[in-house]
Amino acid sequence: MAEVTLTLEEYEALREMAMGSTQQTVSAPVAAPKKRRASAASKRYGRAFKKVAPRYKLKSGRWKKNGFRSAVRAAHKLAGSNRKL
């Protein structure tokens, strides 16, 4: 085998060429995907839930037994009644 002697500058230049070729294949940064937009129905439900939740909580702020489930059902019922037909 032949002996190859490179100076430090030659070695760095070869290394830069090798590393630079892999970095150039990366394209421009991809834009972040658009965030989900809340529907009108989910906004109505959220407002209704905030309105009815205190009725199903204890003084300490904890949920009563089956309170969360009841609050969800009441909020769905309230939000559904606001629909325009």
Q: Is residue 51 part of a domain?
A: yes
Can you give the residue range of the structural domain that contains 67? Answer: 40-80
Q: Give yes or no for a contact between 71 and 49, defined as CB atoms under 8 angstroms apart.
A: yes
Q: Is residue 28 part of a domain?
A: no
Q: For 16-50, what is the HEC assignment? A: HHHHHHHHHCCCCCCCCCCCCCCCHHHHHHHHHHH
Predicted local confidence at residue 82, as pLDDT: 57
Q: Is residue 4 part of a domain?
A: no
Name the percent of the chain in helix, strand, coil, to the closest 5: 55, 0, 40
Predicted local confidence at residue 80, as pLDDT: 86
Q: Is residue 22 part of a domain?
A: no
Q: How many domains does the chain have?
A: 1
Q: Is residue 45 part of a domain?
A: yes
Give the pLDDT confidence of 2-56 residue by residue, as tens digits. 787 888 888 888 888 888 765 555 567 788 888 889 999 999 999 999 999 999 9
Q: Give yes or no for a contact between 70 and 76, defined as CB atoms under 8 angstroms apart.
A: no
Predicted local confidence at residue 31, as pLDDT: 85
Predicted local confidence at residue 85, as pLDDT: 41
Q: Which pair of structure tokens corresponds to residue 45?
A: 């439900």
